[in-house]
């Protein structure tokens, strides 16, 4: 029966309908709230216990409630009290607990003996790791050992790694895979504002009138925030979502407008929007005068492809007039030629940003960060918000989303990167002194010179300068760009690779020692999400076999190397002790973290946590106790101003040419997370997307006479791969482009990608390299 049948209802039926409808109204009023409370009182017995945790997967950081029964995790629901997701999850979150129970979990330590991996007692493996580290340091120096971690490390894991490498061993060879995913966002924040991480929070979604998504397929990658945005749109019909991207995705279809541009030309588009704003006088002159200064940096900065590439930016002062002059190269008409975006669409975007009646939030993630000019494009989007003064207030803000559950919490805040310390950088004497004092080590222990960023670290492993690498919670033998080079590097004679992980992966395949890790709720820890929210989780289930947390593994190795006095905690309370020690680094109004007990109780707390209050919008005196005066105060910079950078458009490192006429873009699908080592073991997710594929534009497919399922050979200057085509699937690349999800270890697409990186952030670009394709 269809709704139109209702038109035939007679009068008597109508009165009945009305009666039911009003009854319905009453029911609807009764359902939420009131009766939920009774739910708790009417339980029969208590065998299913619900406990809180943040989700294990992406950087949104949804609050979950996990149902524990007979010592096993058996069910998940969204935590209705979590302000992040308000009770909603995505398919990965709902099934996340199944990742604990794959049959091939690594339960015992393994050591390579005569070329074969042999199970050994954990103590023996830890002895070997400590011995190898000590030997390598004695023979080749402390910079011959390295730890490569992850944005999936908990905060205590990262803190122990930093104290171990930088405080005890005295090497800056500590990196994390967040270099491959977030470092352009960091350098973007640092160059423009002087302090890392977003000024706003997720509540911006509930206030904004316009959302501009810069190369961000939020419907698949940050689905819970995307649903929150759709909710905002349904409640307020005037709300607009603009999808500005290089590929048509689910997000494009939900958006009010989809604008496609040529890869790399987002630089030109951002400048053109600024040109249009200034040409029309839509800027906020008072805000610019009081809160912005203009700067230039080096141009023609290269792509990091040379073996020992080195770059240091030189920042010089500029002015509004010079800026206006600089923007003359970026009229909408000129940029139409560069980007392929019609000038009227650029003007439309400028009008949205420029309309004083509209609150605008920009979102981005990998599209802008995995970019050989990643720092620049981050700067340029800030420029737009700064020109019109739409920043640091509810609904107004540039918002950089993260990909990993604790890329912010662990890698960025604890600072598990070569140049970082838990507070500040290694090059700053004051920061070193602070670390030395809290860690109780001599200041001379902490090396003042950054050593290797991620790509450089793997290159050093290849050259033989690094002999020992300990990889934790990440799968670089699937994710490194120009992968074949680094796979060979890791397998060379006299390289010693230790891998801490939960399942066999292509990275454990190249390991000399495999250590079993406790995963997520099998140990206690904290994650920090995109909106500066720190979330605590208790140990809820027992880890399998000999598995222990990475933090405790490193403490055990440190003890065996004679650094035990730096880690004087027992296993029972070490997380609390670590947290209270780590908090000392961030004391003060600009970054104060919440105390341990509070984190245990609340569904996460956003820093700066000052006088019992979370800070929702930084750099505005109304919301941020660290800001001085009455309005905006960009206290990250010495001049208390945000810096508008004059960053030009520069070409991609490997534009398509006659031999390699196509562009390869890589990324994710909603079902799989990163390299799929977890999500592929979850039946629902694997069965939804069992293998990777290459997406083609229908016109290219027609020309090549290719249909979905046909095999395609993709070749770049670095490697080639054969995989199945998908045409008119869930995404559609532009003509001349292809898209490949990277989760499938059977199809190592990163053998083809280029290891060019942003010279400022050192983050590689996975989104564009030249390839050719042929049907096989």
Partner 1 sequence: MSKKTKISPIFLGIALMLMVSFIWVMIKVFDFDSHGPFKKEVLTDFRGIDRPLESQAGMYYGLKEGNKYPETKNNPNSKRDLDSFYKNRAYLGAPPTIPHQIKTSMNGSFENCLHCHLNGGFAAEFEAYAPVTPHPEFTNCKQCHVPQRTTSLFKDINWHKPTTAKLGKSHLKGSPPTIPHSLQMRETCLSCHSGQGSIKAIRVTHPERVNCLQCHVSALEETPWERGQL
Instruction: Map the footprint of partner 1 across residues 470-509, applying CB under 8 A.
Output: 503
Looking at the annotation, which residues are catalytic?
Answer: 92, 181-182, 366, 403-404
Instruction: Map the footprint of partner 1 across residues 153-192, applying CB under 8 A.
Output: none
Window contacting partner 1 (CB under 8 A); options: 5-13, 144-152, 299-307, 371-379: 5-13
* Least Å from the CB of residue 37 to partner 1: 10
Of 110 and 249, nearer to partner 1 (C-beta) is 249
The CA distance from 464 to 281, in Å, is 57
* Least Å from the CB of residue 256 to partner 1: 12
The CA distance from 363 to 672, in Å, is 21
Of 387 and 749, nearer to partner 1 (C-beta) is 749
Is the separation of the CB atoms in 618 and 392 below 8 Å? yes
Is the separation of the CB atoms in 444 and 426 below 8 Å? no
Collapsing DSSP to helix, strand or coil, 596 comes out as helix
Binding test (CB under 8 A) with partner 1, winner from 104, 321, 494, 657 = 104
* Least Å from the CB of residue 302 to partner 1: 37
Residue 694 near partner 1 by CB under 8 A = no
Burial of 595 (0-12, 13-18, 19+ CB in 10 A): middle
Of 369 and 726, nearer to partner 1 (C-beta) is 726
Residue labelled with tokens 């958006």:
255
Burial of 306 (0-12, 13-18, 19+ CB in 10 A): exposed
Residue 226 near partner 1 by CB under 8 A = yes
Of 20 and 311, nearer to partner 1 (C-beta) is 20
Instruction: Map the footprint of partner 1 across residues 502-521, applying CB under 8 A.
Output: 503
Window contacting partner 1 (CB under 8 A); options: 9-17, 375-383, 625-633, 649-657: 9-17
* Least Å from the CB of residue 67 to partner 1: 7
How many Cβ atoms are within 10 Å of 493's Cβ, its own excluded? 5
DSSP E strands: which ranges in 114-173? Answer: 116-120, 145-149
Is the separation of the CB atoms in 513 and 499 below 8 Å? yes
* Least Å from the CB of residue 211 to partner 1: 14
Q: Which of 562, 549, 647, 737 is nearest to 161 (CA)?
A: 549
How does DSSP assign 501-538, residue by residue?
ESS--HHHHT-SEEEEB--GGGS-EEEE-TTSEEEEE-
Of 501 and 654, nearer to partner 1 (C-beta) is 501
Residue 91 near partner 1 by CB under 8 A = yes
Q: Is the backbone of residue 591 left (phi > 0), alpha (psi -120 to 50) or beta? A: alpha
Give the per-residue contact string, 54-83, with partner 1 (x = CB under 8 A; - = no).
Answer: -----------x-x-x----xxxxxxxx--
- Cα–Cα distance list, 335 to 263, 343, 368, 733 (Å): 13, 7, 18, 21
CA-based Rg of the chain, rounded to a whole angstrom? 26
Is the separation of the CB atoms in 538 and 526 below 8 Å? no
How many angstroms separate the most distant Cα atoms in the chain?
A: 95
* Least Å from the CB of residue 594 to partner 1: 13
Binding test (CB under 8 A) with partner 1, winner from 85, 98, 177, 183 = 98
Of 230 and 621, nearer to partner 1 (C-beta) is 230
The CA distance from 521 to 588, in Å, is 31
Of 38 and 307, nearer to partner 1 (C-beta) is 38
First and final C-alpha spacing in the chain:
50
Binding test (CB under 8 A) with partner 1, winner from 114, 116, 234, 321 = 234
Of 131 and 746, nearer to partner 1 (C-beta) is 746
Tokens representing 193 are: 């504002």
Scored b (16 or more CB within 10 A) or e, 697-717 reads: beebbeeeebeeebebebbbe
Of 253 and 311, nearer to partner 1 (C-beta) is 253
Window contacting partner 1 (CB under 8 A); options: 10-18, 202-210, 341-349, 752-760: 10-18
* Least Å from the CB of residue 694 to partner 1: 14
Is the separation of the CB atoms in 247 and 240 below 8 Å? no
- Cα–Cα distance list, 546 to 94, 125, 157, 515, 665 (Å): 27, 11, 18, 9, 40
* Least Å from the CB of residue 513 to partner 1: 22
Burial of 600 (0-12, 13-18, 19+ CB in 10 A): middle
Binding test (CB under 8 A) with partner 1, winner from 155, 208, 224, 642 = 224
Instruction: Map the footprint of partner 1 across residues 645-684, applying CB under 8 A.
Output: 670-671, 676, 680-684
Instruction: Map the footprint of partner 1 across residues 583-642, applying CB under 8 A.
Output: 600-603
Residue 133 near partner 1 by CB under 8 A = no
Instruction: Map the footprint of partner 1 across residues 21-60, applying CB under 8 A.
Output: 21-32, 35-36, 38-40, 42-52
Residue 16 near partner 1 by CB under 8 A = yes
Cβ neighbours of residue 765 under 8 Å, at least 6 residues apart?
A: 370, 371, 372, 374, 481, 652, 653, 754, 756, 757, 758
* Least Å from the CB of residue 11 to partner 1: 8
* Least Å from the CB of residue 370 to partner 1: 22
The CA distance from 573 to 583, in Å, is 16
Of 65 and 190, nearer to partner 1 (C-beta) is 65
Burial of 658 (0-12, 13-18, 19+ CB in 10 A): exposed
Window contacting partner 1 (CB under 8 A); options: 3-11, 141-149, 431-439, 529-537: 3-11
Binding test (CB under 8 A) with partner 1, winner from 122, 561, 610, 688 = 688
Residue 165 phi, psi dihedral angles, 5° rounding: -75, -50
Binding test (CB under 8 A) with partner 1, winner from 107, 124, 253, 573 = 253
Binding test (CB under 8 A) with partner 1, winner from 59, 223, 389, 653 = 223
Binding test (CB under 8 A) with partner 1, winner from 413, 572, 686, 709 = 686
Binding test (CB under 8 A) with partner 1, winner from 62, 89, 155, 627 = 89
Binding test (CB under 8 A) with partner 1, winner from 176, 292, 435, 689 = 689
Of 89 and 498, nearer to partner 1 (C-beta) is 89
Instruction: Map the footprint of partner 1 across residues 712-731, applying CB under 8 A.
Output: 726, 728-731
* Least Å from the CB of residue 334 to partner 1: 32
Window contacting partner 1 (CB under 8 A); options: 92-100, 208-216, 272-280, 524-532: 92-100
Cβ neighbours of residue 266 under 8 Å, at least 6 residues apart?
A: 214, 215, 244, 339, 367, 368, 371, 377, 380
How does DSSP assign 424-479, residue by residue?
SBTT-HHHHHHHHHHHTS-GGGS-SS----HHHHHHHHHHTS--EEEEES--HHHH
Residue 389 near partner 1 by CB under 8 A = no
Residue 2 near partner 1 by CB under 8 A = yes
- Cα–Cα distance list, 24 to 28, 31, 33, 138, 368 (Å): 6, 10, 16, 77, 48
* Least Å from the CB of residue 705 to partner 1: 20
Of 300 and 687, nearer to partner 1 (C-beta) is 687
């Amino acid at each position: 029966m269809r709704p139109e049948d209702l038109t035939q209802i007679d009068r008597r039926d109508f009165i009945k309908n009305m009666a039911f409808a009003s009854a319905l109204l009453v029911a609807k009023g009764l359902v939420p709230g009131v009766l939920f409370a009774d739910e708790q009182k009417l339980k029969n017995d208590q065998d299913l216990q619900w406990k809180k945790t943040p989700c294990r997967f992406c950087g949104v950081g949804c609050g979950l409630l996990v149902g524990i029964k007979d010592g096993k995790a058996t069910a998940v629901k969204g935590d209705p009290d979590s302000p992040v997701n308000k009770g909603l999850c995505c398919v990965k979150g709902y099934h996340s607990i199944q990742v604990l129970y794959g049959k091939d979990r690594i339960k015992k330590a393994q050591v390579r003996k005569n070329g074969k991996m042999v199970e050994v007692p954990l103590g023996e493996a830890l002895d070997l790791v400590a011995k190898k580290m000590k030997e390598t340091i004695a023979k080749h120096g402390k910079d011959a050992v390295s730890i490569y971690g992850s944005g999936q490390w908990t905060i205590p894991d990262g803190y122990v790694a930093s104290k171990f490498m930088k405080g005890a061993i005295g090497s800056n060879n500590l990196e994390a895979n967040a270099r491959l995913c977030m470092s352009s966002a960091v350098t973007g924040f640092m160059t423009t504002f002087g302090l890392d991480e977003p000024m706003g929070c997720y509540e911006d979604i509930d206030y904004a009138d316009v959302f501009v998504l810069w190369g961000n397929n939020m419907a698949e990658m940050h689905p819970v925030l995307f649903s929150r945005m759709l909710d905002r749109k349904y409640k307020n019909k005037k709300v607009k979502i603009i999808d500005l991207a290089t590929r048509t995705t689910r997000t494009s279809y939900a958006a009010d407008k989809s604008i496609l541009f040529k890869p790399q030309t987002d630089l030109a588009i951002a400048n053109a929007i600024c040109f249009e704003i200034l040409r029309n006088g839509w800027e906020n002159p008072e805000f610019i005068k009081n809160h912005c200064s203009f700067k230039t940096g080096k141009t023609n900065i290269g792509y990091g492809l040379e073996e020992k590439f080195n770059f240091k930016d030189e920042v010089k002062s500029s002015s509004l007039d010079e800026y206006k002059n600089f923007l003359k190269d970026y009229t909408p008409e000129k940029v139409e030629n560069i980007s392929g975006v019609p000038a009227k669409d650029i003007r439309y975007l400028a009008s949205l940003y420029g309309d004083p009646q509209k609150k605008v939030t920009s979102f981005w993630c990998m599209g802008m960060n995995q970019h050989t000019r990643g720092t620049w494009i981050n700067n340029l989007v800030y420029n737009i918000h700064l020109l019109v003064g739409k920043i640091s207030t509810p609904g107004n803000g540039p918002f950089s989303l993260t990909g990993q559950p604790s890329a912010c919490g662990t890698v960025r805040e604890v600072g598990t990167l070569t140049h970082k310390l838990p507070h500040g950088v290694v090059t700053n004497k004051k920061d070193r002194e602070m670390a030395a004092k809290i860690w109780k080590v001599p200041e001379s222990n902490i090396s003042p010179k950054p050593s290797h960023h991620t790509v450089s670290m793997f290159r050093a492993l290849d050259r033989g300068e690094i002999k020992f690498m300990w990889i934790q919670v990440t799968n670089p033998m699937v994710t490194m760009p120009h992968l074949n080079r680094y796979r060979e590097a890791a397998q060379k004679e006299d390289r010693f690779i230790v891998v801490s992980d939960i399942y066999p992966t292509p990275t454990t395949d190249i390991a000399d020692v495999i250590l079993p890790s406790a995963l997520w709720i099998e140990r206690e820890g904290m994650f920090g999400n995109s909106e500066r929210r720190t979330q605590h989780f208790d140990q809820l289930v027992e880890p399998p076999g000999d598995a222990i947390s990475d933090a405790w593994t490193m403490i055990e190795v440190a003890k065996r190397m004679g650094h035990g006095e730096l880690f004087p905690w027992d296993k029972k309370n070490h997380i609390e002790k670590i947290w209270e020690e780590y908090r000392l680094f961030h004391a003060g109004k600009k970054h104060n973290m919440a105390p341990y007990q509070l984190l245990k109780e609340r569904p996460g707390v956003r820093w700066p946590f000052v006088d019992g209050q979370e800070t929702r919008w930084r750099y505005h005196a109304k919301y941020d106790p660290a800001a001085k005066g009455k309005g905006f105060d960009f206290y990250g910079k010495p001049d208390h101003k945000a810096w508008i950078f004059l960053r030009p458009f520069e070409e991609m490192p490997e534009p398509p040419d006659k031999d390699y006429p196509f562009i390869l873009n890589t990324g994710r699908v909603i079902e799989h997370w990163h390299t799929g080592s977890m999500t592929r073991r979850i039946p629902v997710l694997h069965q939804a997307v069992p293998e990777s594929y290459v997406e083609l534009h229908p016109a290219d497919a027609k020309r090549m006479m290719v249909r979905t399922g046909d095999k395609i050979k993709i070749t770049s200057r670095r490697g080639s791969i054969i995989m199945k085509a998908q045409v008119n699937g869930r995404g559609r690349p532009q003509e001349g482009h292809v898209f490949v999800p990277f989760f499938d270890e059977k199809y190592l697409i990163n053998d083809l990608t280029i290891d060019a990186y942003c010279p400022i952030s050192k983050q590689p670009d996975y989104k564009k390299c030249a390839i050719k394709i042929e049907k096989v």
